Chain A
C-alpha cells in the first residue's frame, strides 16, 4: 500500500517536475529587488571607465584654458584605461568534433535529448570544476569545460550527468543572463588584482613597502566587498539556474547519476591529498596524476569518513542541490 502511495506521489511529482522544468525554461527569471540591485551595481561598475573617459575627454577638449584641467583630464583618461573591463584571456586549448569524435557523439546525444545545439567546443584544464560559456564578439560560440580531475574521478554515468548539466546551461539561457553581472564581477577581480602588491623577491620589504601595502589594502577592501555583494545578489539567479540544469540533466542521465555526480564535487580534498602523497614532485613521474586522484577517490569508502560528512558539506550549494533531487524528488 505504501509502495502504491509512493508510486502515485512519484507520478504526481514527475508531472510537476516536468511542468516546472518547462515553465522554468520558457519564463525569464522574475525581476526581484535583488536582481535589479545586482544589475544596477553591475552597470555602474561597467560604466565607470566610460564615465572617466568622457570626463577626461571633456576636461582636455573643452576646458583646455586651464593647465590643471588638462593634467586632470589626462589623469582621468589614464585611470579609465587602468580600470576598464577586459575579457578574460582564453588560454585553455579547445577541441572540436574532429579532435574528439566519440566525445562529441556523446554530447550530440545529450544535446538532442535536452533540445539544444551541441556546444561548438570542449575544453579542459587541471582544475576541479566545470563550466559553460559563450564567447566571441560577432559570431557567438558555445563551449563547455570539464576539468580533468572532475572527469577522471567520475563513473561513466556520472560523466554523462556532468556533461548534461553543463550542456543544459545553453537551454536555460543563463550564460547570456549572467553576462552583465559576470563581466562586472570579473572587473572587480581585475581591480583587486591591480591593487594587490607584487612582492619583490630580491629585496626585503622596507617601511615604504609596508605603507604602500597598507594603502593598497584599504583601497582593495571596498572592491572586495563590492565583488562579494555582487555574488550575494546573484545567488538566487544562479542557484535557480542550476536547479533547472540539474532537472534537465536528470531527465537525460537519471537522477541517481546526477546526485552521485554532485556528491563527487565534494571530494576535492581527497583528490588533492592524493597529489600531496606523491611528494617529492617530479614532472616526469606524474603525467597520469588524474588516475592517481581517481584511485584515491575510488578508495574513499575504505577511508575514515566521507568528506561530504564534514560540517561544511550539508550547508554547501551543491549539497542543497543534491538534497533537492534526493529527498523531495522535486527537480527544481
Chain B
C-alpha cells in the first residue's frame, strides 16, 4: 500500500507538470495573439506556388496579384458598366484600328527600386503576347491571343499592337495578368526565382513567399498612389475549414476566405465578427468530353442538362444564396449584352426522357468525375445530380478524383468539373476565356461545336465594334451553345468571407472573382 502510494504520489507530481506547462503556454498564446493595428492576417483555403503576374491565372493567385501589381489601365473596383482610370499609363488613345498608344506614368518606382520604363512594359507584355515559354500560354489563351507586340516609342510611351481591331482592348489591359514587372530584375534572377519573390509596382511588395503555405506582403513605401491601409499582410494557408474559422475567432487571423454557408453560424454567434458574401460571378460546371463516343450525341447532352433541378440544388447546397442560371451569362454585363429573357437551363425531366429516347440511350453508364475539395460542395452536387439523373433513367457512376486532370486523362472521361469565372464584365470575360478556339477544351477536343456558323458568329461576338451587332452575335452564340450542350451547367456558387467587424470590405464587382482587394479605399478599418 505504502509502495503503491509512493508510486502514485510520484506520478501525480510528475503529471502536474504538463498541466502547469499548458497553463503557461495558454497565457503566452493569448498574449501573442494581439496584432498590431496596421497588420492584416488573412487565412486562405488555398495558396500559390508562384506569383508571376503573367503566369498566375488561377483563382488562388487572384487573391494576391491585385495588391502587388499595377496595370497600365485600372478599373474602378465596383463600377458597372466597367469604368477605366489611369494606372501605370496616365493617358491612352487609339492611333489606328489596331494600335493603342499609352503614355506611361513617370516616377513609378518598382519594388526593386528601379524606375518603371517602357522596356518593362514591353518585356512583361510581350512574353504573354508571344509566349515562347509554356508557363505564359494560359494567359495568352485566356486574354492576349489578339495582342501582337509592344513598340517602344520613347521611355515613357509605348504602342500596343493587336492582330485585329479589338473592342475589349482596354478591358484586357486592365486584367491583373497584364500587370507589369521589372525587366532587369527578372533577367537578373530568372523566371523561377522571380515568381517566388516577384517585383511589381503596387502598394504592397512580396517580402517572402513559401509556396503553398504563407506569403508576407509589406507596404511599398515608394508606391506612386495613395498609401495602403496596412503595413503588412500575411496570407496563411489554412485548408481545413474548422481550423480556418477557429483561427479567426481565436484572433490568429483577421480575415478568412471560403466560408461555407452551413458554417456561417459558427462565426456570427461570436461577437466581433461578420460575414461578407455574395453569389459570385462564376459558374460551376461539368465540361463534357464531346470526343468521347458515348457523349457525341447532342440530344443526350441536352437531356442531361434538362434533368437537373438547379433551383433545388441552390436551395439545398447554398441555402438559396447561390444562383440558378438560366443561360451562360451574368447580370454583371449590364444592358444590352445581358439578356434576362433567355432561359436555356430549364428543368424538364419529361423532355429529358424524350431526348434520351431520341438519342437511343440504352442505359450505358455515364460517369461523373468530381473533385471533393477544389470546388466547394463538388461532392454533394455530384451526388445530388446523380440522383436527379437516375430519376430520368440515366445510369450514373460517380468517380471521385483528387487531382486535376492532364492531357493523358482527357480521352478517358466523359465529363469533369470546371469553373467559368467572369474574368471581366463582358460576355467574352467568361466565353472567350474558356470556350474560344485557343482554350484548352478546344485544343484537347473536348469542346467541338459542330454548327458551321459557330466560327463566324464567335468572331462577330468577340470582335464586332458595334454593340448591337455584338449583342446579336452573342445571342446567336448562346443559342448554338445550348444546342450543342457541351457542358453541364450546375450553379453560381455563394462565396462567403468572414472578418473582424471593424474591417470594411466589399467584394469587388469589377474585378475577377476571388480577388482580394486591399488597396487604399478598398478596405478600411473603422476608427482609423
A and B interact physically: no
> Which B residues are within 8 Å of any A CB, using their own CB?
none
